[in-house]
Amino acid sequence: MNDLAKASDWGRRKKPSTCLALFYRFIYDQYHCGVTTGYVGIIHFNLIGVYGLLANLLAMPILGVVIMPAAMVALIAMPFGMEKIPLMVMQWGIEQALLAANWCLTFPAPVTYIAASPKLALPLFGIALVWLCLVKSKLRHVAWPVLLVVSLMMGQGKKPDLIINGNASHVAARQLDGSLMMISKTKNSFVPSRWLLSDGDDRKAKEVQRVCVKAACYLPIKDKRLAVVYKSSAIAEACAKADMVILATENKNPITCPFVFHRKMSKPGETLFYEFKTGNDIPVHYAGGLKTKKRIWLN
């Protein structure tokens, strides 16, 4: 009994430190979760939440104590038609978690935009993460140099000089200062917004997007001029005024200027060009060996 009392007394004395250890462990876990998802956020979404750790620390207790238990109770109560109250509790918990997340967004510069990373970054990160989690011997530390390499690769992807979406309704061109300028056939800004994110540009699409309502519209691409032709009647004028032409309409007449016949190249995906260097001739090749069918060279 005396030994039991001593053990009980020791347990009571250890409780504060145990609670503190659990708190530290919670912060530690959230930090690692934030770092892990941060890599994916940078690679896939081209952004990272600066206050993600704080948002997780505020939201996770609500998730564990309110949202998930209420969801389980609602699931059990559904066959009896009694799920309304637990679902209301769950809704309240979700609202509180969103409130915490939105509060973090009120801080200065809550989001950092990062340019696209090389395609190899995501598979390397996945392999290193799985290796680190599953391998228990000292060999698990092999993953750390790989994660360091992935970290150095962030935002280092090659940036295209010209981007054309599937039907050429959106076209983006690189300027001499390195930024993108865009013309669009519609006011829809979803595609331009994604392109800006991929470029690590925090500007809004409406700041760089010009809506084209004419048969042909023009924009600079570095030290050259680009035309996007939406009606075949504007082809001759576009060839005279521009260094290169994107043909976004059907045409059966011969064209003598460098062009991208986009309907035959990339539908519904995107076409990226990388080889427009200042002062250089436009990279072209001759389609089918015919001198009257010059096309922009696609590497």
Tens digit of each residue's pLDDT (9 = 90 or more) over 98-157:
999 899 889 988 888 888 888 889 899 999 989 988 888 889 889 999 989 998 998 888
Note whether 85 and 188 are same-domain residues.
no
DSSP state of 137: S
Angle in degrees, 0-180, between the axes of helices 143-153 and 121-134, rounded to the nearest 10: 150
Phi and psi at residue 252, to the nearest 5°:
-110, -5
266, pLDDT greater than 70? no
Note whether 180 and 290 are same-domain residues.
yes
Query: In this predicted model, what pLDDT tens digit does every residue of 203-215 receive, in sequence order?
Result: 888 888 999 888 8
* Least confident piece of the model among 49-58, 69-78, 88-97: 49-58
Q: Is residue 236 assigned to a domain?
A: yes
Average of per-residue pLDDT across 75-90: 94
Note whether 282 and 200 are same-domain residues.
yes
Cα distance between residue 253 and residue 292, in whole Å: 10
85, pLDDT greater than 90? yes
Q: Is residue 139 assigned to a domain?
A: no
Q: Is residue 119 assigned to a domain?
A: no
Note whether 79 and 185 are same-domain residues.
no
Query: In this predicted model, what pLDDT tens digit does every residue of 188-197 receive, in sequence order?
Result: 888 899 889 8
Q: How confident is the model at residue 277 (pLDDT cuts 50, 70, 90)?
A: low
Note whether 40 and 166 are same-domain residues.
no
> Long-range contacts for 150-154 (Cβ within 8 Å, ≥24 apart)?
150/39, 150/121, 150/124, 150/125, 153/117, 153/118, 153/120, 153/121, 153/124, 154/42, 154/43, 154/114, 154/117, 154/121
Q: Is residue 135 assigned to a domain?
A: no
Number of domains in the chain: 2
Note whether 37 and 108 are same-domain residues.
yes
Q: Is residue 143 assigned to a domain?
A: no
Q: Which domain holds residue 201?
A: 162-296
Q: Virtual CA dihedral for 204, 210, 212, 216, nearest 10 degrees?
A: -130
Residue 71 contacts by C-beta under 8 Å, 6 or more apart in sequence?
Answer: 86, 90
Q: How confident is the model at residue 5 (pLDDT cuts 50, 70, 90)?
A: very low
Note whether 109 and 184 are same-domain residues.
no
Indicate whether this model's pTM tops 0.75.
no
More confident call, 13 vs 71: 71
Portion of the chain with pLDDT greater than 70, in percent: 81
CB 49 within 8 Å of CB 110: yes
CB 93 within 8 Å of CB 66: yes
Average of per-residue pLDDT across 222-234: 86
